[in-house]
Amino acid sequence: MNIVNARKVSHRLETETTIWKVRPIEWFLAGGLALTGKTTAGPDVWAFVSLCWIASLVMTWTHPKRSLMAFNMVLIPVDIIVISTAVSLSGGLASPGFLLYGIDVLFLVTYASWRWVTLGTAAIVAGYGLASQGWASAQFWWHAFFLAFIVLVAQSLASSAMKAVRSASASKVKVEQLAALKSLQGSLVELSDLRSMVTTILQTGTQLLQTQAGYAARWTSAGTLQMMAQTGLEDEAEWDPRDSYEAEALTRTEITYWKNISSHDPVKIDHGLRGRHYHELALVPLKDGVTVIGVLAFAGQRRVVPLVDQQVVLEGLADMVVSQNRFAQAQSEARKRGRLLAILERVGRIVNRNLEMNNLLRSLHQAVAEELETDSFLVALTLPDDPDRILMQYLFDEGHEYTPEVMDITQGGPTERVLATQEALLFSGSMGPSQLLGSYRVPRSAIFAPLEFEGEMIGVISTQSYRIDYDRDHVEFISSIASQAAIAIQNAQLYQRTESVALTDHLTGLGNSRRFAMALRSAIDYSRIANMALSLLLIDSDSLKQINDRYGHIAGDTHLQVLSNVIRRNVRDQDTACRYAGDEFVIILPNTQVGEAMTVGERIRREMDGKFAWKDSMIGATISVGAAQLQPTMTQEELFAAADRAMYEAKQNGKNRVVAS
C-alpha cells in the first residue's frame, strides 16, 4: 500500500470509529426524548426507551474491528427508525426531536457521495413525515428545508476539507519522493561502475513504485538493445527490439503504459514478464537531449495508484540513468586521455554529489583549486528570458564569496565572446572591455570556458590568477571540467524547479510555511556569521473573513492574491516573502533594521488600504503588520513570536497599522 492510500485508510478508520462512538449518544437522546411526550408513558414507550438505552450501552462497550464502515452504514436506516419513533412518541411535528436527524445527516456527509447523501436525506424526510404526519404543514416543510440546508453546508465544508487534506498529503508525498531521489543521487557517488549504479537506481525504483521488476537497456551501434542492469527478471545480454513492445516506446517522447500484459503476444512481452503474470508495465524512453539512447521499464502486479500516475518518479529515475550513462561515458573517455581526464573523474564525483546549487558550485571550485592555482573563480548562468544580462551565480575572489547578482553582459567582453563562439578563451593581462568583479584587480591570466548542455549555452565558467600564467593545457582542463559541470548544473536546476513546486503556495505563488522555516533558519545563520541585521514582518489581513462571508471564498482568494502581488512589488530580490497560513504572510528582510522594515510594511499597508475591487464593488480591505528585529540571543521561534506579538498589538489598537515589537 502506498503512502497516500495508507493515510486514507487511517483517516477513514478514525472517522468510522468516531461515528460508532457518537451513535450511542444519539440513541440515548432518542430514548430520553420519547419520555417527554404529552401522554402518559405506557409500556410501549418504556419498552422503546429501555431498548434504546440498552443498545446505547452495548455500542459504548463494543467496537467491531472488521467491516466497521459496513456496520455504520447499515445502522443509518436503524437510526432513522429510532429517531422517527422518538419523534412520534414525543409529540410528532411539535417535537424537537427532528434535530436528532441532523446527527445522521453528518454521518451521511462523511461518506462524501452526493448520491448516498441525497438518498439518505430523502429517507430522513420520509421518516420524519411518517412520524409527524405533517405532510400538509408548513412547519414540517420548514424543518425539512432546514435539514436539507444542513446537508448542503456540511457537504460543501466536507468537500473543501477533503481537497485540502488531499493537497497536503500529495505535497508531502512529493517531498518524500524528492528526498528519496536525492538520497539515491548521493548513494550513487559511492559506486564505481555503471552497472552497479543502474542496479541501485532500479532497486530504489521498485521500492518507490512498489513494483516487482525493472530493467534498463540502451541502443547499440548494431541496432540492438543491450541490458544495462535488471532486477527481478531474466538477465538477457542483448536482443533485437523489432516487433516488441520496446519498439513503440523507443519512438515516443512520453511514457508508454501497458495493462494486462500477461494477455499480450509472447513476442511483444518478453524477459519473463508474462510468466510472472504481471499486470502493468511502464516504459520510459531514456533521452539524452533529443536522442533516445534506450529504455527504462518497471513491471508489477495491479496497484491502487497505476504506474502511469507516477510520472515524476519514473522520469526522475530515467534522468538518473541517463546522467549516470553520460557520466560513465565521460569516465571512459577520461581513462583514455591520461592524467588530465583521470582528474576529471574525481571532479565529476564531487559535482555530481550535490543537487543544491550553492553547494555544487563550492564543490566545483574546491575541485578546480586542488589541481590548478586559482585566485578568482566564477560561474555565470544565462537567463532564458533576458539575453542581455547574466546571473553571476557564484563568485569567489581573494578569499571572499560574493552573493549572486544579475548583471549586464559587457559588449565585447569575454563572457559575450564565449557565449557567441561557444569556445574557451585564454587571456593574459587585459581582457578588453570586461567588467571587473570582486576585488576589481586585473588578473595576470584568466580562462573562460562555455557551459554547454544539449547544444544550448547555459553559462560560462572562469578561473583567474593574479600570480601565474595559464597555458593551453590549463584551458583543456577547465574546458573538460566545464563539460561535466554543465551536466551537474542542469541537474541542480532541475532539482531546484522540482523542489520549488513542493515549497510554493499554490494560490499566491509565494513560498509556503515549509519554505519560510527553511529560509528563516538560513537567514538567521547568515546574519550571525556576517554580523548583519535581520528583520521579520508578519502581515495579517483584517478583512478576509468579512470578504469570505459577504462575497464568497473566490473573492477571498482574489484578495489574498492581490495582497501577495502588493508584497511582491515592495520587497527586494534578497528578501523572502511567504504565505505562512490562511491570511498570514511573512517577509524575511536580511541586512535590515526594524525601522527600515516598518517602512516596507507601511508601503504595503498604504497600497492595500481600501483598494480591493471585487466585480463592481470597492471593498475596504486593510492589513495589520507586526515587525521585529533579530536580537543576539533570539531563537528562530522567538523572532517569529516577537513579530506575532507586534501584529496582534496592531490588531488590538484598531487594525490597519504597522507596529514594531
- DSSP 3-state assignment of 65? coil
Closest listed residue to residue 542, CA positions, set 655, 660, 659: 655
Hey, what amino acid is at 526? Y
First to last CA, the chain: 49
CB 87 within 8 A of CB 132: yes
Residues recorded for the chain: 661
Closest listed residue to residue 540, CA positions, set 507, 567, 521, 519: 567
Residue 412, C-alpha cell as written in the block: 565585447
CB atoms within 10 A of CB 23: 24
Helix orientation angle between 357-371 and 339-351, rounded to the nearest 10 degrees: 160
Residue 583, C-alpha cell as written in the block: 491570511
375, 542, 583, 644: which is the annotated catalytic residue? 583
Supply the DSSP symbol for 41.
P
Task: Look up 583 and say whether it is catalytic.
Answer: yes
Q: Are strands 623-629 and 658-660 parallel, antiparallel or unpaired?
A: parallel
Supply the DSSP symbol for 23.
H
CB 61 within 8 A of CB 98: no
CB 59 within 8 A of CB 126: no
Question: Over the Cα atoms of the chain, what is R_g?
Answer: 33
Supply the DSSP symbol for 40.
P
CB 198 within 8 A of CB 319: no
CA angle, 186 then 191 then 194, to 5°:
110
440-479: b or e for each residue (b if 16 or more CB lie within 10 Å)? Answer: eeebbbbbbbbbebeeebbbbbbbbbbeeebeeebbbbbe
Whole-angstrom Cα distance, residue 661 to residue 646?
A: 5
Helix orientation angle between 3-34 and 101-109, rounded to the nearest 10 degrees: 170
- Whose cell is 478583512? That residue is 543
Whole-angstrom Cα distance, residue 506 to residue 164?
A: 11
Sequence-ordered strand ranges (E) for 301-384? 376-382
Whole-angstrom Cα distance, residue 463 to residue 459?
A: 14
User: Mind giving me the DSSP string for 378-445?
Assistant: EEEEE-TT-TTEEEEEEEEETTEEEPPEEEEPPTTSHHHHHHHH-S-EEEES--SS----TT-PPPSE
Active site residues: 583
